[in-house]
């Protein structure tokens, strides 16, 4: 056989093995029930809403943001995030935080915010008229 085919086949096999490895390592699941998150040791995406009444605190020296979330059942969870707060955090309607729960807190590595849509407000205005 030609050496080019052997080298090309080897590269394809290594690439496919690497892709299979990456796909098997991403076992992050979505969870909306905080009680389930509190007993899990896995990395999860927690969905809930920010409890605005409890406010949030920013530790600029350590670059930590601490706030409380609640799930659809009303269970609350303290969230600690290392990084900068998203621009639309205060106007968000719901949050998705990725991380792990340990020592009484959810340590988030990522925050996604969902803000109210301007189209939803327009449809509410049109429904009133």
Tokens of 46: 């927690």
Is residue 18 in some structural domain? no
- CATH assignment of the domain containing 76: 2.40.50.140
Is residue 7 in some structural domain? no
Is residue 120 in some structural domain? yes
Is residue 22 in some structural domain? no
Could you say which DSSP state residue 107 is in? E
Is residue 55 in some structural domain? yes
Quote the number of domains for the chain: 1
* Residue 90 to residues 14, 82, 125, Cα–Cα distance (Å): 46, 17, 23
Is pTM beyond 0.85? Reply is: no
CB within 8 A of 85, min separation 6: which ones? 56, 58, 65, 111
Is residue 23 in some structural domain? no
How high is the pLDDT of residue 105?
Answer: 92
**pLDDT tens readout for residues 89-128:** 888 888 999 999 998 899 999 998 887 766 555 555 555 5
| Cβ atoms of 67 and 77 closer than 8 Å | no
Range 71-92 average pLDDT: 88
User: 116: domain range?
Assistant: 30-128
Strands 44-50 and 64-70: antiparallel
Q: Looking at the predicted structure, is the pLDDT value of residue 29 above 80?
A: no
* Residue 58 to residues 12, 68, 76, 83, Cα–Cα distance (Å): 48, 13, 19, 10
How high is the pLDDT of residue 129?
Answer: 55
How high is the pLDDT of residue 1?
Answer: 63
DSSP helix/strand/coil, 30 = strand
Averaged confidence pLDDT in the chain: 83
| Cβ atoms of 90 and 66 closer than 8 Å | no
């Amino acid at each position: 056989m030609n050496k080019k085919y052997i080298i090309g086949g080897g590269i394809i096999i290594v690439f496919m093995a690497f892709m299979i490895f990456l796909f098997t390592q991403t076992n992050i699941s979505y969870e909306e029930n905080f009680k389930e998150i509190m007993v899990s040791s896995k990395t999860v995406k927690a969905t809930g809403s920010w409890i605005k009444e409890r406010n949030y605190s920013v530790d600029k020296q350590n670059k930590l943001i601490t706030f409380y979330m609640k799930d659809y059942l009303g269970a609350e969870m303290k969230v600690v995030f290392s990084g900068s707060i998203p621009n639309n955090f205060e106007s968000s309607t719901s949050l998705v935080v990725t991380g792990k729960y340990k020592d009484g807190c959810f340590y988030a590595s990522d925050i996604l915010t969902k803000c109210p849509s301007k189209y939803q407000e327009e449809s509410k205005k049109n429904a009133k008229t």
